[in-house]
Structure 1
Amino acid sequence: MVCVSVIGNLVVIWIILAHKRMRTVTNYFLVNLAFAEASMSAFNTVINFAYSVHNEWYFGLGYCRFHNFFPIAAVFTSIYSMTAIALERYMAIIHPLRQRLSSAETRVVIGVIWVLALLLALPQYYYSATDQLPGRTVCYIQWPEYTNDTTMDFKKMYSVSVVLLYYFLPLCIMGCAYLVVGSSLWAGTIPGDSTHRYREQLIAKRKVVKMMIVVVCTFAVCWLPYHIYFLLQQFHPDPMQLFEWRYIQQVYLAVLWLAMSSTMYNPIIYCCLNDR
């Protein structure tokens, strides 16, 4: 998984940045998406899996903080890069006469996405800690103590906010954008008297939109079990009871593998659905 993800996404980055004709607004966002996915795969996937299997942290407090902090930022960056592409396609197809984003403006949007991602992930960094238990070291997040019975505690508020902001909200935005774009592009057959250039442009637009819909759906499917698992854990009346279920460790590892595997599919999708 790590090899396919890192190599595949680096190839995507090289194809776009090394060839001037590939430097479009959509492709700049694809570079940002590829960088976030390759980074998360390289720096977190193997360590995450090793820690889940061995249940012991070997990598110190500094990497514990990075390990809890960076995946939140990377996934936020990934899904909002997809959201930016969906909105860019919406503007290009539904409002073709309006001014498109310039290269400089695209870089600003990418910078804003990263700043927001890092801010959202900051609590994970701040509250990360390591502790020495009998026979092993653990890396965990030491959330503020829950003191008010009438208010949702900070941990639950943060968990719900993360799921809403980096899963359900962007998926709703993309779903609406692609529904409108799809209705416009596939509303009818291509007129027989259309010019050859018009037909080619329409087919090209359909291909890009179809490719991005597959990318978004793949991401949504890979991360849905992960979010369901952790929301159940947060809101179960007795969270410790979940850990007593038979095969819960295998279920967790399968859910974790599926979520982490989302980093490796996009280069394969691009290869299959985009000749360029």
Structure 2
Amino acid sequence: MAATQNGSNITANYTNQFVQPPWRVALWSVAYSLVLAVAVFGNLVVMWIIVAHKRMRTVTNYFLLNLAFSDASMAAFNTLINFIYATHGDWYFGEAYCKFHNFFPVTSVFASIYSMTAIAVDRYMAIIHPLKPRLSATATKVIIVCIWILAVVLAFPLCFFSTILTLPRRTICHVAWPRKTDDPFMYHIIIAVLVYLLPLVVMGITYTIVGATLWGGEIPGDSSDNYHGQLQAKRKVVKMMIIVVVTFALCWLPYHIYFIVTGLNKLLIKRKYIQQVYLSVMWLAMSSTMYNPIIYCCLNSRFRAGFKQAFRWCPFIKVSSYDELELCTRRLHPARQSSMHTLSRMETSMVACERRR
């Protein structure tokens, strides 16, 4: 996805005009390394929290697991290679990886944003139509598989037409479209619509309706004694997912604008400053892979407890009894039981947690 444009930027240049001074390369190296480290490690921790704790295996969290996997994969396989290629303008990694490098980002981003869309639709059904059947674990896994199949189909042209081209002084990785006049721009428009605009519209509509229900009225069909506790819990989940979606949208917006503008005005890609613009928008897009673990940790008590467990080896991280309970058993609402009963359940849960270790 990124290498496609980078390759087309420099195809016509037989000498490498994009060589940067060492200090600038060092600064960009630090920026991209930060994204790589935080995204891969943070998303791996998120995956461990969901897989290792039975309480975390919910419909929403299965989609978050898929989101974390796609983000970690893109950060691991594309971020560093994108940076090296965009910085030096020379492809060092062979034709097979050129095909994968152009193919996988579109696949990964598709899987990410449609996982978010699936969560939005699931939240909509759970809150607006609470009496209708919810997704089962099996149905959720089928949806995730379908998302990846559609992602592969959408990105397949990039894999099929990608190739390397050896120039007198360097090698480039680019997509050799059959008709070079219209195909690249039209394909990027299709990508922008299917992988950005359409899912954001769907999520915008669903979260607007859900938000109006949660913050402006009562939840349909909910008249239970612990109504306010359930309402607060649902608000927290929706708030977290809205922040995830908005972060994704802001990170990828400049990237899609860049492709559209350079597609309409091809003279821009011959400007030397375009390399710094490209590195900036690409860093922002790649950085979208590292924010979600931070958002989960800050806004969700169970994920925060999981991160504390993962980092309990740090001297300044303390795992409390409350953190242990967050991932071992369901919390009981104060209105539903006495203090003595709560204490008894907490003691039982702590014993269960200790046996798991």
Using the size of structure 2 for normalisation, the TM-score is 0.72
Q: Bigger CA drift: 118-127 or 247-256?
A: 247-256
Which of 257, 274, 281 is matched with 1:255 structurally?
Answer: 281
Could you say if the C-alpha distance between residues 247 and 29 of structure 1 is closer, same or farther in structure 2, counting changes exceeding 3 Å?
same
Task: Report matched runs for 1:38-53 at 5 Å.
Answer: 38-53=72-87
Does residue 119 in structure 1 map to residue 153 in structure 2? yes
Which of 52, 55, 61 is matched with 1:21 structurally?
Answer: 55
* Inter-partner Cα distance in structure 2 for 1:229 and 1:11: 33
Q: Helix, strand or coil: the match of 2:216?
A: coil
Deviation at 1:195, TM superposition (A): 6.2
The one-letter code matched in structure 2 to 1:231 is I
- Superposed CA offset, 1:141-200 (max 9, x none): 0011257xxxxx32222111111000000000000000000000000599xxx8662211
Q: Cα RMSD between the aligned structures?
A: 1.5
Work out the number of aligned pairs and report it. 265
Contact 2:262 2:269 in 1 (8 A): no
Deviation at 1:26, TM superposition (A): 0.3
Which of 135, 143, 164 is matched with 2:169 structurally?
Answer: 135
The one-letter code matched in structure 2 to 1:214 is I
- Superposed CA offset, 1:229-272 (max 9, x none): 00111122xx0x20343522111100110000000000000000
Q: Helix, strand or coil: the match of 1:101?
A: coil
Deviation at 1:219, TM superposition (A): 0.2
Task: Report matched runs for 1:110-259 at 5 Å.
Answer: 110-146=144-180, 153-188=182-217, 197-236=226-265, 239=266, 241-245=267-271, 247-259=273-285
Task: Report matched runs for 1:3-82 at 5 Å.
Answer: 3-82=37-116
Report the identity percentage: 63
Name the counterpart of 1:269: 295
Structure 1 unaligned blocks of 5 or more: 148-152
The one-letter code matched in structure 2 to 1:22 is M
The one-letter code matched in structure 2 to 1:252 is Y
The one-letter code matched in structure 2 to 1:157 is M
The ranges of structure 1 where at least 4 consecutive aligned residues each deviate by more than 4 angstroms after the TM superposition are none
Name the counterpart of 1:150: none
* Inter-partner Cα distance in structure 1 for 2:286 and 2:225: 43
Highest Rg: 1 or 2? 2
Deviation at 1:134, TM superposition (A): 1.2
